Amino acid sequence: MKAPPFEYHRPSTLDEALDLLATLDDAKVIAGGQSLLPLMALRLSRPAHLVDIGDIGVLQSLAQEPDGSLRIGALVTHRQAETSDLVARCAPLLAAATPQIGHRAIRTRGTVCGSLAHADPAAELPAVAVACGARVTAVSTRGARDIAAAELFQGYLQSSLAPDELLTRATFPAWPEGRYGTVVEVARRGGDYAVLGLVCWIGIEDGHIADARLVYFGASDKPARSLAAEDALKGKSPGHDAFAAAGEAAAEELNPTADIHGSASYRRHLAAVLAERGLADAHRSAPIAGRSR
């Protein structure tokens, strides 16, 4: 199938793009197009207008802020994030996740902020953003909003962005010393969406786990954080017993959906397995490394 008819716009400035979004009815923003165009080809999305932001140079920024946080502009691609030493240093979980996104051709065109705006709960980056406490900036002719990643994702392919807002950047807070994490997932084939995946990190102080974060993707209609698993880890010595207990807590707390790729019970089983594996990987890996199981 081919996409239904639409009108194409390619603004050269941010103000021009915002004016288009404010005045056009049923407009969608396109950057890399790796999520939107397949939906249009299947006629699952039928926007009357496409606003292509590819010529807006100010959206190509990738820089470290004075406070150590990492600013990622709306046009930064997955491949740029995957190969950037700055990303590896400032946002190692993002660097760990990007090689697991689709295939290289997709990563070359698709953008980090586009994945966040698309809000696919089976994608890696929304879970990474929640796990890292990232924030996004949404801009319109009405002004700018700063949105926590945990508040951005509202449901399956649903975000808190208004129709006239453009997600211009994502900001990942500084990665502290003593924190170790990883991204693990189960997929039927390389490049497929994960049946279930986990973004996790632990912060270690004086030989004990001071803090932890576990966020699952592919489990429900948005990234699913396991508070029970995090509570089970705090104050414990990092090791098999603590990680296994966290996995059991996560599996008990998680309420996964069922589909053709896996039953709810299978995903609960994977939740425990991935928690134990991911936490063990995080504990023994000072450099963050994403792994596919």
Sign of CA dihedral 36, 38, 39, 41: positive
- Read off the pLDDT of residues 143-161 as tens digits, 9 standing for 90 and up: 999 999 999 999 999 999 9
CATH number (domain holding residue 267): 3.30.390.50
| Amino acid at position 229, single letter | A
Choosing from 175, 203, 237, the residue where a domain stops is: 175
pLDDT of 132 reads 98
Q: What is the mean pLDDT of residues 63-76?
A: 98
Sign of CA dihedral 160, 164, 167, 173: negative
53 in any annotated domain: no
52 in any annotated domain: no
d(CA 242, CA 218): 24
245 in any annotated domain: yes
96 close to 127: Cβ distance less than 8 angstroms = no
209 close to 291: Cβ distance less than 8 angstroms = no
- Read off the pLDDT of residues 219-250 as tens digits, 9 standing for 90 and up: 999 999 999 999 999 999 999 999 999 999 99
147 in any annotated domain: yes
**Quick one: DSSP state of residue 157?**
T
Q: What is the count of structural domains for the chain?
A: 2
Q: What would you report as the CA-atom Rg of the chain, rounded to the nearest whole angstrom? A: 19
Range of the structural domain that residue 102 is part of: 1-46+59-175
- Assess whether 138 and 229 both reside in one domain: no
- Assess whether 154 and 13 both reside in one domain: yes
Confidence of residue 292 (pLDDT cuts 50, 70, 90): very low
HSE value, Cβ hemisphere, 13 Å, CA-based, for 163: 11
Residue 152 CA: distances (Å) to CA of 22, 60, 133: 20, 22, 11
- Read off the pLDDT of residues 13-47 as tens digits, 9 standing for 90 and up: 999 999 999 999 999 999 999 999 999 999 999 99
d(CA 55, CA 27): 18
Instruction: Specify the DSSP element, H or E, that contains 153.
Output: strand 153-155
Q: What is the mean pLDDT of residues 85-89?
A: 97
